[in-house]
Amino acid sequence: MTQVWLNGRFEEADTARLSVSDRGFLLGDGAFETIRLENGRLRRWARHRARLTRALEVLEIAPPDWTGVQAAALHLAAGMPEAVIRLTVSRGPHGAGMTAPSGEEGTVLVTARTRLAPPDSVTLALVDAPRREPSSLASLHKLTQYADMLHARRLAMAADADMALVLASDGTVSCADSATVFWIRGETVFTPGAQSAALPGTALAAIDQACEDAGIALERAAVKPKAFAQADAAFIANAVMGIVPVSALDGQAFDATHPLLVRLKALERAAD
């Protein structure tokens, strides 16, 4: 039987219960992290913990028992060669009103599933809406209110693509629907910055550091889709998949074997 860790207790997944008044379910009032576990270790745990801490501080939700969370993740993933850990923290069972207590301990859920091998490459489809807003909390923190990105993915799949390329409110490239997006021109790597409402990803932070250490130029840039499509190569990255080349955007091919992209994949794999 599959187990989860809910509010400090291990429970069977098919019998674990959330309150019907939990604001995470009713309003998306919470935040989460998706973490890769390999070799008995939570990859980039410090980065994930710091990002979730910042989100919970803004939401005014008490942080979870970090030691308990880490131990629970290792227990749930026992026997899995590699696992995907999902840590979700909501404000808890305070109903659906616009006001709720601040600073109290919320609902904490940890789950684990076997990590599947990432695809060799992905295709993207440009979606015009929804668009991301730089000042929105959802562009600054990984919140449980994920309806926009789920809708973007549905639109991309309807266009026979794997993922959506999402725009910011000003029409510049922001992100893929569940990953940071990058592009390569010459020997320089680019990625959207805060002005394009790009979520500060943990994979991005690791790639940033790896590029700095390796002497590779990585710049923030605001570009429209037409300029993005003229790149030599493109790739997406997130905590679970690592770097995955983009093979095409709306049918226009990219070089999925670009030498710098291949090098970056190796650097990201070794980065913490």
Q: What is the pLDDT of residues 263-272, one digit of tens each?
A: 999 999 999 8
Query: For the residues of 95-127, what is the DSSP string, one character each?
Result: -SSS---SS-B-EEEEEEEEPPPPPS-EEEEEE
Determine the 3-state secondary structure of 4 from DSSP.
strand
> Is the whole model's pTM more than 0.85, yes or no?
yes
Q: What is the pLDDT of residues 169-217, one digit of tens each?
A: 999 999 999 999 999 999 999 999 999 999 999 999 999 999 999 999 9
Mean pLDDT value of segment 135-144 = 96
Higher pLDDT pick, 1 / 146: 146
Question: Helices 45-59 and 202-214 sit at what angle, rounded to 10 degrees?
Answer: 130
Domains within the chain, CATH numbers bracketed: 3-114 (3.30.470.10), 122-270 (3.20.10.10)
- Per-residue confidence at 95, pLDDT binned at 50, 70, 90? confident
